[in-house]
Structure 1
Amino acid sequence: MNSQIISAIDVGTNSFHMVTASVDDNGLLNIISREKEIVRLGSSSGDMSYLQRDAIKRAVTTLRAFYKLAINENSQIRAVATSAVREAKNKDEFIDLIKRETGIELEVVSGIEEARLISLGVIHALPILAEKALIIDIGGGSTETIITEQGEMIHLQSNKLGAIRLTKKYFDGIPSNEISISKCKKFIKGEWAQTLDKIEGVGFTTTVGTSGTMTTLISMAYLRKNTELPTVLNGLTVKAKHVLKVIRDIKQASSPENIALLNGMDITRADIITAGALIVEVAIEELGIKNFVISNYSLREGVVFDTVEKTQNLEQYHQLTKLRYKTVTGLATKYGADMKHSEHIRKLCNKMFDQLEPIHGKGYYERELLESASYLHDVGFHISHDKHHKHSFYLIKNSIMTGFTNDEAELIANIARYHRKSHPNRSHGSYNMLSPKKQQIVWLLAGILRIAEGLDRRQIQNVEDVELTIEENKLKIKIIENGSETPDIEVWGADRRKAMLEEALNLEIIFE
């Protein structure tokens, strides 16, 4: 087990969290420190179209402090941004600003990936492997629901139902009343209807609440029967009927000032708790939930475990992690890709990438992107043979890529898009929106993929292997054939596609 120290940062809609921890040989999380700051990055009742200047300023200040604390621990930083950032039209400017001002690279995750990371944290916090566990995480911008069984995630869903989003829509600056509460609940039921139906269909035996809204409500319910909270909240269990009584008290209190006076209330959450509580109320009423148990681990702890797992798989096995492998091969199979051809392309790409490492200096991360693009480059055939590289780009970019961030999916889509035909140019909007660093990655990896594709031009795996040598300003690629047929067509195909890699490496490529 890698004992590296990781600082996982959750860039949420309401608050930013950072946990700095390591994972020991028994798979247990050793917490070094926790940090939390209320930032209120998102502030819209609908789609969070733009991050506002004052919120951005608070984000920069907080992340700059988090960065210094993480560096002080000599830890690896991994920062994940959720609802507010992924919906913002100015997210690219925000990401660039955060990198420039704080040194932190933000990963924007999809709602489904957010749900997966949350569940990864929860299954390490509670003994629920034998249960069919429903996990509910209510954030500022979205609500994630997950059902796990035997460690497998059998339901993952993210809905645009969050405490801040609903507060802005129904209770912004005014006390709640019967009319606004009724309208809000009606909206929740409509927005959540399909998800609730799916949850009922799958079924569950226990319900886990995690993150601010759920933890606050469960704690308040516990304090109705007890004088004080236990030191550790993880595993704390209450009856759903007691949570409903807390929600009743919140509705009756009406204003944030009165709500803040309720026993156990987190006063920093008093102005948004009504909206979050109504989401919980709908869940209890519609799903027949009987009990709730708190998980102290959620997204940020899930990020720590996910980072350790990825590092292990890459360093020990030098290949895609199990989850990512299942995602890309599942998507390739779904869209009818020739898996024998795809696997051979992956093999040739890896060979070239590894032998070129002294020149390009890239590592495991870029290798994973290349492997993924190798499996998925031809999925566009599902739509049409004509311009299939463009269709591949569309399908990859718009598919649910479990285990990948949105940014990684877009990089893979761009790499696959340039496996044939034209090189990137000014008219290609998606490529031009990438940072210069990411454009360089696309150019290099797509260049390798283009040559590999040429070397299996007839898709008969006629080229068994390649050996690369560099002499002066020339890259010589020796073709090792499998003996079935002379690979003249393959060499011809690769030679036609070599210009992109030549430019990326600033070397002339010669096939031998």
Structure 2
Amino acid sequence: MDDDSEVVSFIDIGTSSIHILVVRFFKDSMGTPIFQDKENVRLGQNLFKHGNIDKETIEKTRIVVSNFVKISKNLGAKKIIAYATCAARETSNRKELLDAMKVEGVDVKIISGFEEARLIRLGVFGPDGPFQKSLEIDIGGGSTEIVLCKGKECLFSDSLSLGCIRLANGFDQDHNKAITFSEYDYLRRHVDMMSYRTCRKIREIGFERAYGSSGTMIALAKICAAKRDGDDSYMMYYELVEVMKELYTKGVEERKDVLGMTPSRADIIVSGGAIAEELMYLLGIDRIEITDKGMKQGMEIDYMLSNGYTNFDVKESSVLNLAKRCQYDQAHAETVQRNALLLFDKMKEEGIHNMDNEMRMLLSYAATLHDIGEFISYPKHHLHSYIIILNSYLLGFDNEELKLMALMTKFHHGNFPSKGSKQFKDMDKKETSDLLKCAMILKISDILDRRRNSAIDWIEMCISEHDVVLNIGSESDINMEMWKLKTLNEEFETVFGLGLKVKLA
């Protein structure tokens, strides 16, 4: 492993669950997660009824924190940063809780609701913030953090005493059973009472997009998605209204059978849903985007900022981190990337394609990652690369971008697919065409460095009547490369509508 790397562990001790994120930081790049997990301790289960955390729950918390610290150290973490939030803030036996969590020399710090909101903002939007004026709602176990920002500027922030565990246990209601409409309406009216000043201020400022994070939002979105197309990256208000009618009229065991339900949340989903539904109603949110980013990612970014890190090109950094973890051949990858971008630009100048800069960047990243499958084995390495990228959860990329990069790497070696391949059944003609063009450019670029010796000195391009002509300059023997390129003529013509001719200058 890279001697310049550093491993840091981040532990988020929430009212509902305890999360851990262990990150390896490579020199001159952002961190890459190497481990994450969570345990549903329910720290606030009795807090909102009795005002303190019971001894049994404190012991469970101690065990989980202790195990997470051991895992962190086994993974090489030299620094462990642990923050506790709402339950730790409000319990009357705070010292007893902190003493129990002080294991292996780790000092757990209790942070304010506003600091929690700031870290969530960093985790969801990154250090540069959103391009549009955006609202973020994070429904936790004991509190709900709301942030409105644009770019790096925080326009409004608040921490509300509203949480799925607080509401489920703070009233004379049994959420293990079905509740009546009037009981559910009481929850919504309580949310209204606790949040109306905040919502009024947000409406005055205005926003363009809304985002939801936390387990509650993710769980609700999964149920809504299961009733339509399965896409849980967003949730509509009208969907949530119908889902909540179904959920609050069922007992906890019946709720577990609802399509898309996260069983461990069946007892707190009604209270969490009441918060989400009422806030969306009060704020006029028809659609809310769902993210799995949150406080622990914010802790990571905050650590980087506090240690002088300024280069936050999230996509490039996450690509390089994955490449390094897979022990890629850096010199070969950089040569292939250089060749690919050169060909992309020259072909665009000649009017051979009209792809935009986004496709150019995806091609660049695919070139960096095209051979990472060799980490598993060289035979079928292009398939291994495809699987690794598709399942890598690279920071900064959406699912569609990951799919395009993965397919480019898949097609850079071996048989090239036809436009009618079933692999493209969910893509439109333009997207399929652009993908195949980038994959062909990557395939040519890889062949040009087949012996991994950067033998190509320069490449010129021109168009004859029916062909793209590549004039290749090299002082080395590149007969193998030239022969291999000539075998691509038929596939190249299918993709670009022109033949391919290669000449040694």
TM-score normalised by the shorter chain: which range applies?
0.5 to 0.7
Which residue number corresponds to residue 186 of structure 1? 189
Which residue number corresponds to residue 241 of structure 1? 238
Post-superposition Cα deviations, 1:350-392, rounded to whole Å, max 9, x if no partner, equal: xxxxxxxxxxxxxxxxxxxxxxxxxxxxxxxxxxxxxxxxxxx
Which residue number corresponds to residue 253 of structure 2? 257
Q: Judge conservation of contact 2:137–2:145 (CA < 8 Å) in 1.
A: yes
Q: Distance in 2 between matches of 1:210 and 1:190?
A: 22
Q: Indicate yes or no: 2:68 matched with 1:72.
A: no
Q: Judge conservation of contact 1:132–1:147 (CA < 8 Å) in 2.
A: yes
Which residue number corresponds to residue 158 of structure 2? 157
Q: Indicate yes or no: 2:283 matched with 1:287.
A: yes
Q: Indicate yes or no: 2:269 matched with 1:277.
A: no
State the Cα distance separating 1:27 from its structure 2 match: 5.8
Q: Distance in 2 between matches of 1:102 and 1:138?
A: 31
State the secondary structure of the residue aligned to 1:5: strand
Post-superposition Cα deviations, 1:73-103, rounded to whole Å, max 9, x if no partner, equal: 111211110000011121122212211x453
Q: Judge conservation of contact 2:178–2:249 (CA < 8 Å) in 1.
A: no
The alpha-carbon distance between structure 1 residues 104 and 175, as it changes in their structure 2 partners (threshold 3 A), is: farther
Q: Which structure 2 residues correspond to residues 96-111 of structure 1 after superposition, within 5 A?
A: 96-99=99-102, 101-111=103-113
Q: Judge conservation of contact 1:48–1:87 (CA < 8 Å) in 2.
A: no
Aligned length: 304
The alpha-carbon distance between structure 1 residues 116 and 103, as it changes in their structure 2 partners (threshold 3 A), is: same
State the Cα distance separating 1:3 from its structure 2 match: 4.8
State the Cα distance separating 1:243 from its structure 2 match: 2.6
Q: Judge conservation of contact 1:60–1:102 (CA < 8 Å) in 2.
A: no
The alpha-carbon distance between structure 1 residues 202 and 145, as it changes in their structure 2 partners (threshold 3 A), is: same
State the Cα distance separating 1:49 from its structure 2 match: 2.6
The alpha-carbon distance between structure 1 residues 206 and 48, as it changes in their structure 2 partners (threshold 3 A), is: farther
Q: Judge conservation of contact 2:21–2:33 (CA < 8 Å) in 1.
A: yes
Query: Which has the larger Rg?
Result: 2
Give the TM-score taking structure 1 as reference length. 0.56
Which residue number corresponds to residue 369 of structure 1? none
Post-superposition Cα deviations, 1:295-335, rounded to whole Å, max 9, x if no partner, equal: 22100110111112112279xxxxxxxxxxxxxxxxxxxxx
Q: Which structure 2 residues correspond to residues 362-511 of structure 1 after superposition, within 5 A?
A: none
Greater alpha carbon shift after TM alignment, 166-175 vs 209-218: 166-175
Give the TM-score taking structure 2 as reference length. 0.57
Which residue number corresponds to residue 22 of structure 2? 20
Which residue number corresponds to residue 421 of structure 2? none
State the secondary structure of the residue aligned to 2:259: coil
Q: Distance in 2 between matches of 1:26 and 1:240?
A: 42
State the Cα distance separating 1:30 from its structure 2 match: 1.2
Q: Distance in 1 between matches of 2:274 and 2:87?
A: 21
State the secondary structure of the residue aligned to 1:204: coil
Which residue number corresponds to residue 306 of structure 1? 302
Of the three residues 19, 37, 40, the one matched with 2:39 is 37
The alpha-carbon distance between structure 1 residues 44 and 191, as it changes in their structure 2 partners (threshold 3 A), is: farther
State the secondary structure of the residue aligned to 2:249: helix
State the Cα distance separating 1:24 from its structure 2 match: 5.2
Which residue number corresponds to residue 114 of structure 1? 116
Post-superposition Cα deviations, 1:10-58, rounded to whole Å, max 9, x if no partner, equal: 1011111101113556764411111110101112474873111010011
Q: Distance in 1 between matches of 2:97 and 2:235?
A: 40
Which residue number corresponds to residue 93 of structure 2? 90
Post-superposition Cα deviations, 1:378-430, rounded to whole Å, max 9, x if no partner, equal: xxxxxxxxxxxxxxxxxxxxxxxxxxxxxxxxxxxxxxxxxxxxxxxxxxxxx
The alpha-carbon distance between structure 1 residues 37 and 194, as it changes in their structure 2 partners (threshold 3 A), is: same
State the Cα distance separating 1:249 from its structure 2 match: 2.0
The aligned amino acid for 1:210 is: S
Which residue number corresponds to residue 167 of structure 2? 166
The alpha-carbon distance between structure 1 residues 29 and 296, as it changes in their structure 2 partners (threshold 3 A), is: farther
State the Cα distance separating 1:284 from its structure 2 match: 1.6
State the secondary structure of the residue aligned to 2:307: helix
Q: Distance in 2 between matches of 1:306 and 1:93?
A: 28
Instruction: Report % sequence identity.
Output: 30
The aligned amino acid for 1:238 is: M
The alpha-carbon distance between structure 1 residues 208 and 26, as it changes in their structure 2 partners (threshold 3 A), is: farther
Q: Distance in 2 between matches of 1:31 and 1:122?
A: 16
Q: Judge conservation of contact 2:47–2:91 (CA < 8 Å) in 1.
A: no
Of the three residues 183, 200, 203, the one matched with 2:203 is 200
Unmatched 5+ residue regions in structure 2? 311-505
State the Cα distance separating 1:181 from its structure 2 match: 0.9
The alpha-carbon distance between structure 1 residues 28 and 207, as it changes in their structure 2 partners (threshold 3 A), is: farther
Which residue number corresponds to residue 55 of structure 2? 53
Unmatched 5+ residue regions in structure 1? 315-512
Q: Judge conservation of contact 1:45–1:164 (CA < 8 Å) in 2.
A: no
State the Cα distance separating 1:179 from its structure 2 match: 2.2
Q: Distance in 1 between matches of 2:64 and 2:238?
A: 38
Q: Judge conservation of contact 1:163–1:273 (CA < 8 Å) in 2.
A: yes
Q: Judge conservation of contact 2:47–2:87 (CA < 8 Å) in 1.
A: no
Greater alpha carbon shift after TM alignment, 276-285 vs 24-33: 24-33
Q: Distance in 2 between matches of 1:167 and 1:32?
A: 35
RMSD (Å) for aligned C-alpha atoms: 2.3
The alpha-carbon distance between structure 1 residues 163 and 33, as it changes in their structure 2 partners (threshold 3 A), is: same
The aligned amino acid for 2:94 is: K
State the Cα distance separating 1:242 from its structure 2 match: 2.0
Q: Distance in 2 between matches of 1:260 and 1:108?
A: 34
Q: Judge conservation of contact 1:45–1:166 (CA < 8 Å) in 2.
A: no
Q: Distance in 2 between matches of 1:261 and 1:27?
A: 44
The aligned amino acid for 2:45 is: S
Q: Distance in 1 between matches of 2:198 and 2:246?
A: 27
The alpha-carbon distance between structure 1 residues 25 and 202, as it changes in their structure 2 partners (threshold 3 A), is: farther
The aligned amino acid for 1:58 is: K
Post-superposition Cα deviations, 1:92-124, rounded to whole Å, max 9, x if no partner, equal: 22212211x453211100000000000000013
State the secondary structure of the residue aligned to 2:22: strand
State the Cα distance separating 1:263 from its structure 2 match: 1.0
